[in-house]
């Protein structure tokens, strides 16, 4: 890589390990849930590091943090990079943080190169990429895309078990106000096409394709998008022994039928990117000798092909109808997110590919099975994503691991891509 100095493995390792210390479940993976003590401390750490790296720091009304490296011509639309520092429960150290720490390092080596770049370049911590606290992901990038309003923020509530101040349920709106933000202004942070010249996110792959291919770099073609559904099944709570089988309205058996059929729908879909998971099931009353009267479960469906998600939703509707009729249970369905897959910008993809080729870095063009903030950034800016490998494909787990050398290589490619984008005038 000419001119721009190589990313420092040592600095990247130090920053990732330091950020990893802000954690509410030490010894059991890393948990940094949105706006809890641990995440607020992680935010403060990143802001401090941004300032130490000579970046101008600001935060918007939903808590997106911007660290800006000024270019020669700040009137031009900027170039963005960034990701998230919030986590799922008992997570690993690299999901999201690689894009924030790597983004900071990329801006640092661009700045230190002394090479002139026209457009400002910003590294961003997007608020709440994970749905952990409020049940909906990508809150900060969704708001930037104009798809999250102050009203939505009032409607989104947590279970009350995340705020250190009191145990009652809080809305995103309340929490933002308590942090000193003017949550009524959320709708004003919306960006429009043309406001951002291009955005590139560095992220771990969270799957095992790169490792399987023996490659260190992935170039994302499309981001699979989630469709999240809540299912409630109401049967009849009765005695497990005295109730004859033909009279039962067993909510859990009905749920089991739906869940297995959903798996078949995904297995028989055309695209390999179409997947379905039921990750949360709550059974009431949850006693050994009582027929479950009520079951609530969540469906997390993903695909790079919107038509396949729509087809599975159609099949689910007719399955719900038949299971509720045959088992005489009431089944209600609430779709809480139905996002469209996002295609990476062909120009940015070829920019990243050219830089890989010039530097003889083997790469794999691939679909991202996980969703990312770039999915919403794509609504107003052309985007690209660079993947680095996840060991054994493990992610959303304390054993998540990516070699620091691989992160530094991804950072070098990111720096060159951002630098070239910032000189497109
Ligand atoms: O679930 C996802 O794809 C992301 O990690 N939130
Ligand atoms: Mn994640
Ligand atoms: Mn992530």
Kindly report, residue by residue over 331-375, the tens digit of the pLDDT. Answer: 999 999 999 999 999 999 999 999 999 999 999 999 999 999 999
pLDDT at 377: 98
Q: Given a cut of 90, is residue 164 above it in pLDDT?
A: no
Kindly report, residue by residue over 233-257, the tens digit of the pLDDT. Answer: 999 999 999 999 999 999 999 999 9
Q: Would you say 301 and 275 are in contact if contact means Cβ atoms under 8 Å apart?
A: yes
Q: Whose CA is nearest to atom 3 of ligand 1?
A: 370
Closest ligand 1 atom number to CA of residue 129 = 6
Is the Cβ atom of 413 under 6 angstroms away from ligand 1? no
Q: Given a cut of 60, is residue 225 above it in pLDDT?
A: yes
pLDDT at 160: 76
Is the Cβ atom of 370 under 6 angstroms away from ligand 1? yes
Closest ligand 1 atom number to CA of residue 130 = 6
Kindly report, residue by residue over 268-309, the tens digit of the pLDDT. Answer: 999 999 999 999 999 999 999 999 999 999 999 999 999 999
Q: Given a cut of 60, is residue 2 above it in pLDDT?
A: no
pLDDT at 159: 81
Q: Whose CA is nearest to atom 6 of ligand 1?
A: 130
Phi, psi of 231 (to 5 degrees): -115, 135
Q: Given a cut of 90, is residue 3 above it in pLDDT?
A: no
Mean per-residue pLDDT of the chain: 97
Is the Cβ atom of 140 under 6 angstroms away from ligand 1? no
Q: Given a cut of 90, is residue 153 above it in pLDDT?
A: yes
pLDDT at 312: 98
What proportions of the chain, in percent to the nearest 5, are helix, strand and coil? Answer: 35, 20, 40
Kindly report, residue by residue over 366-401, the tens digit of the pLDDT. Answer: 999 999 999 999 999 999 999 999 999 999 999 999
Residue of 281, 227, 234, 268 whose CA lies nearest to 254: 234
The mean pLDDT of 113-120, rounded to a whole number, is 95
Is the Cβ atom of 63 under 6 angstroms away from ligand 1? no
Q: What predicted TM-score, i.e. pTM, was given to this entire model?
A: 0.93
Pocket test for ligand 1, best of 85, 95, 135, 137 (most atoms within 8 A of CB): 137
Considering every ligand atom shown, identify the ligand nearest to the alpha carbon of residue 277 and give its number.
Answer: 1
C-alpha separations of 283 from 198, 244, 245, 255 in Å: 46, 21, 19, 10
Cα angle for residues 372, 375, 376 (degrees, 5° grid): 115
Q: Using pLDDT thresholds of 50, 70 and 90, give the confidence band for residue 47.
A: very high
Q: Given a cut of 50, is residue 406 above it in pLDDT?
A: yes
Q: Would you say 332 and 186 are in contact if contact means Cβ atoms under 8 Å apart?
A: no
Closest ligand 1 atom number to CA of residue 300 = 1
pLDDT at 1: 45
pLDDT at 168: 81
Q: Give distance in angstroms: CA of 96 to centre of ligand 3.
A: 4
Q: Given a cut of 80, is residue 167 above it in pLDDT?
A: no
């Amino acid at each position: 890589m000419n001119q721009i100095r190589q990313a420092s493995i040592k600095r990247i390792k130090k920053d990732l390990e330091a950020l990893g210390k802000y954690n509410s479940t030490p010894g059991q993976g890393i948990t940094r849930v949105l706006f809890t003590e641990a995440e607020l401390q992680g935010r403060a750490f990143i802001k401090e590091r941004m300032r130490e790296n000579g970046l101008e720091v600001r935060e918007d009304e939903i808590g997106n943090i911007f660290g800006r490296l000024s270019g020669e011509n700040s009137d031009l639309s900027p170039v963005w990079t960034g990701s998230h520092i919030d986590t799922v429960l008992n997570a690993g150290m690299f999901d999201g943080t690689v894009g924030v720490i790597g983004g900071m390092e990329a801006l640092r080596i661009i700045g230190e190169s002394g090479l002139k770049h026209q457009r400002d370049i910003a590294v961003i911590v997007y608020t709440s990429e994970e749905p952990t606290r409020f049940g909906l992901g990508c809150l900060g990038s969704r708001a930037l895309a104009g798809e999250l309003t102050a009203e939505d923020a009032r409607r989104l509530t947590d279970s009350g078990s995340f705020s250190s101040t009191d145990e009652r349920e809080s809305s995103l709106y309340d929490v933002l106000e308590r942090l000193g933000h003017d949550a009524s202004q959320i709708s004003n942070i919306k960006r429009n096409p043309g406001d951002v010249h291009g955005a590139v996110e560095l992220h771990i792959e969270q799957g095992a394709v790169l490792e399987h291919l023996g490659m260190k770099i992935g170039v994302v073609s499309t981001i699979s998008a989630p469709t999240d559904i809540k299912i409630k099944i109401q049967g009849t709570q009765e005695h497990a022994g005295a109730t004859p089988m033909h009279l039962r309205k067993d909510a859990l058996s009905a749920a089991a039928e739906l869940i297995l059929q959903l798996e078949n729908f995904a297995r028989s879909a055309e695209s390999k990117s179409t997947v379905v998971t039921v990750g949360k099931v709550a059974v009431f009353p949850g006693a050994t000798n009582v027929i479950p009267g009520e079951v609530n479960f969540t469906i997390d469906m993903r695909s790079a092909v919107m038509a396949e998600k729509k087809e599975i939703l159609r099949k689910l509707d007719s399955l719900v109808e038949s299971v509720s009729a045959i088992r005489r249970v009431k089944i209600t369905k609430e779709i809480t997110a139905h996002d469209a897959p996002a295609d990476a910008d062909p120009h940015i993809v070829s920019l990243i590919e050219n830089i890989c080729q010039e530097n003889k870095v083997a790469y794999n063009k691939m679909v991202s099975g996980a969703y990312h903030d770039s999915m919403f950034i794509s609504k107003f800016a052309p985007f690209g994503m660079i993947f680095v490998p996840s060991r054994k494909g493990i992610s959303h787990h304390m054993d998540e691991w990516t070699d620091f050398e691989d992160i530094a290589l991804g950072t070098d490619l990111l720096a060159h891509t951002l630098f070239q984008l910032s000189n497109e005038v």
